[in-house]
Amino acid sequence: RIRYERISKRGENHGDVTKTFSQFLKEERGKNERYITEIGRTADAVIENRGAEQLFTSAIARFFYEEVLPFFA
């Protein structure tokens, strides 16, 4: 439910703001969404997005400063 609310709030894609929760769930079960877990297994790093927005943005910042920025130092 948290992910749905964030997507609706951002409104990045056409229809996100007006999309119902049931429409969101239907799309989540779609073909592309089924491959996310498989793709994630090949990732060098994973940032979880399962809690408060502040925790997620903190995790992104931590990843940037610890993993990305050192490449440019």
Cβ atoms within 10 A of the Cβ of 39, count? Answer: 9
Helices (H), the chain: 2-10, 21-28, 31-34, 36-40, 53-63
Check residue 68 and give its pLDDT.
94
Query: What tens digit of pLDDT does each residue of 22-35 get?
Result: 988 888 777 677 78
Q: What confidence category does residue 55 fall into, taking pLDDT thresholds of 50, 70 and 90?
A: very high
Q: Which residue has the higher pLDDT, 10 or 32?
A: 10
pTM score over 0.85: no
Q: What confidence category does residue 60 fall into, taking pLDDT thresholds of 50, 70 and 90?
A: very high
